[in-house]
A and B are shown apart, each in its own frame.
Chain A
Amino acid sequence: MAYRWTNDLTQADVTPKAAYLNRRQILAGTIGLGAIGLAGRANAQDLEPNTLEEITSYNNFYEFGTGKSDPAQNAHQLVTSPWSIKVDGMVDNPGDYALDDLLAGLSVEDRLYRFRCVEAWSMVVPWNGIELADILNKVGVQSGAKYVAFETVVQPENMIGVQRRVLDFPYVEGLRLDEAMHPLTIMATGIYDEPLANQNGAPIRLVVPWKYGFKSIKSIVRITLTDQEPPISWNVANAREYGFYSNVNPTVDHPRWSQATERRIGGGLFASRQDTLMFNGYPEVASLYEGMDLSVDF
């Protein structure tokens, strides 16, 4: 017998889309329904992407200078073709891969991600990229490997910031293998369906949306699988301020500034700060850090 129960809710009581998408995201993260990729995309639907002009004009890429507009001014000198990536360490198929060969047969997906800089500003970027897991599976990760290390190109004659030794170049980064294999982790090759601008890390860069932006290393020329935690540039420069994990975490301040709030790029001179979200709003990665004290392993 139908209509035994009468619904007294109206359209106004419908759960907002953003809220239920979030809930599904949390479910996916904790129970591991395999819906992580779906949740990642669903979560993105309420995000308003920044313009390409904003994304390409406000950058940190210290090899081209420390000012925010320096990379846009200087990165045109970077030579991105031909481009090859050295894959070495604990892999089945090491070698120097031409970029096209490394990516051949792998699918490029659209990923609209929040991007949170450690300096407490943020953007929303419509990346085009390939899941890093696909690339790693292609080269064959050996069983003992625990970490993935990355290295940025150094072209001293084309990168005017390299001589200034702001950091110890080449810029290096790294992820734990499970972070690297997470479906949210991509190697981006484009933004807005256009090839990456040089200042955004052409021709290929890492994007790890739940970590501070400096983890998302640009213009990658080397990927190394290893069983040791690899050094990362900002940690080498200042271990007190920059940890290996560097997950976005509003409860752990940078020693010199608060991480509780952030300013979304593009809001103009009177833009309000907004609250920073744990894991930058990607709670499905929380299970990667179970049992860890994130104020110690920051």
Chain B
Amino acid sequence: MDIAGKLNAVLRRIPAPTVYIVGAIYAAWQFWLALNQIGPYLAEPINILERAYGEVALILLVVGLLVTPLRKWTGVNLMKFRRAIGVTAFFFVLAHFLVFAILDVQSIGRVWTEIVKRPYVTIGMASFLMLIPLAVTSNNRSVRKLGGATWRKLHKLTYPAAVFGAVHYLWLVKGFQMEPIVYLVVILGLLSLRLKWNPARVAP
């Protein structure tokens, strides 16, 4: 059996909700480190925790976008985890937002000012809002209710949400920093692959 096949055999034995459990444990662990000001959280836990949750969200959005190309190129099948990956990404965005609103900015008035006045917050907020309907409809009942085609169309919102998330990151850093650029390039790359695969777009 090839490597992809062996990997798939292992993956088949892992239940999809594992993603939620690992995500929740990681989020709680980081919160605990921040609360006790351990390691990178020693001096200033709020900003570091905000960044940590935001970055995990971005990573999960990238992983979610990677599922289809990975199957095409390598045969490794992560499809059954994809919904859990997406929903977990949403929860990290939510956690990121809550740390920003409650621990960092600390008042509803200032949260609103930041959203309206700071373009990088506006675009991050837009990304968050786009993910809400996706999280809400991430269950079989919604798929049946909306119908597969509509549901898939709706869930294409992950594309702009991921791009906005990466732009949000790029926009908030100071100076010329590589990391956010890498995220944006990877996300745009993964999206451009999809353009080619869509027969409706290839055919004139």
Known: A164-B178, A166-B176, A273-B106. A69 touches B45 (CB 8 A): no
Tell me the complex Cα distance, A234–B174, Å. 9
CB distance from B84 to the nearest CB of A (A): 28
Known: A66-B177, A269-B34, A272-B106. A256 touches B172 (CB 8 A): yes
Report yes or no: A258 in contact with B113, Cβ–Cβ below 8 A: yes
Tell me the complex Cα distance, A268–B174, Å. 24
Report yes or no: A258 in contact with B114, Cβ–Cβ below 8 A: yes
CB distance from B146 to the nearest CB of A (A): 38
Tell me the complex Cα distance, A57–B41, Å. 10
Tell me the complex Cα distance, A119–B47, Å. 10
Nearest-neighbor residue (CB-CB) of A62 within chain B: B175
Tell me the complex Cα distance, A263–B105, Å. 10
Report yes or no: B47 in contact with A121, Cβ–Cβ below 8 A: yes
Query: Of A62, A66, A258, A268, which contacts B37 at CB under 8 A?
Result: A268
Which residues of A lie under 8 Å from residue B114 when comparing CB positions? Answer: 257-258
Known: A258-B114, A269-B49. A237 touches B43 (CB 8 A): no
* Interface of A (DSSP majority class): loop
Which residues of B lie under 8 Å from residue A119 when comparing CB positions? Answer: 174
Question: What interface size band does chain A fall in?
Answer: 20 to 34
CB distance from B59 to the nearest CB of A (A): 16
Report yes or no: B46 in contact with A166, Cβ–Cβ below 8 A: no
Which residues of A lie under 8 Å from residue B34 when comparing CB positions? Answer: 269
Known: A256-B118, A258-B110, A258-B113. A121 touches B171 (CB 8 A): no
CB distance from A217 to the nearest CB of B (A): 15
* Interface of B (DSSP majority class): helix
Tell me the complex Cα distance, A166–B87, Å. 34
User: Is the CB of A167 closer than 8 A to any CB of chain B?
Assistant: yes
**A18-53: which have CB < 8 Å to B?**
50, 53
Tell me the complex Cα distance, A266–B126, Å. 32
Report yes or no: B177 in contact with A58, Cβ–Cβ below 8 A: no
Tell me the complex Cα distance, A270–B31, Å. 12
Which residues of B lie under 8 Å from residue A271 when comparing CB positions? Answer: 46
**A264-293: which have CB < 8 Å to B?**
265-266, 268-273
User: Is the CB of B120 closer than 8 A to any CB of chain A?
Assistant: yes
Which residues of B lie under 8 Å from residue A270 when comparing CB positions? Answer: 103
Question: What interface size band does chain B fall in?
Answer: 20 to 34
Query: Of B42, B44, B173, B176, which contacts A263 at CB under 8 A?
Result: B44
Query: Of A69, A234, A237, A269, which contacts B46 at CB under 8 A?
Result: A269
**B127-169: which have CB < 8 Å to A?**
none
Which residues of B lie under 8 Å from residue A4 when comparing CB positions? Answer: none
CB distance from A35 to the nearest CB of B (A): 34
Report yes or no: B45 in contact with A53, Cβ–Cβ below 8 A: no
Which residues of A lie under 8 Å from residue B47 when comparing CB positions? Answer: 68, 121, 263
CB distance from B43 to the nearest CB of A (A): 3
Interface positions of A (Cβ within 8 A of B): 50, 53-54, 57-58, 62, 66-69, 119, 121, 164-167, 234, 237, 256-258, 263, 265-266, 268-273
Interface positions of B (Cβ within 8 A of A): 34-35, 37, 40, 42-49, 103-106, 110, 113-114, 118-120, 171-178
> Given contacts A67-B40, A121-B44, A164-B176, could you give 9 more A-B pairs where the C-beta distance is less than 8 Å?
A58-B44, A256-B119, A257-B114, A258-B114, A263-B44, A263-B104, A269-B103, A270-B103, A272-B106
Give the 8 A-B residue pairs with the shortest CB-CB distance, closest first: A58-B43, A166-B175, A54-B43, A269-B45, A265-B43, A57-B42, A57-B43, A265-B44
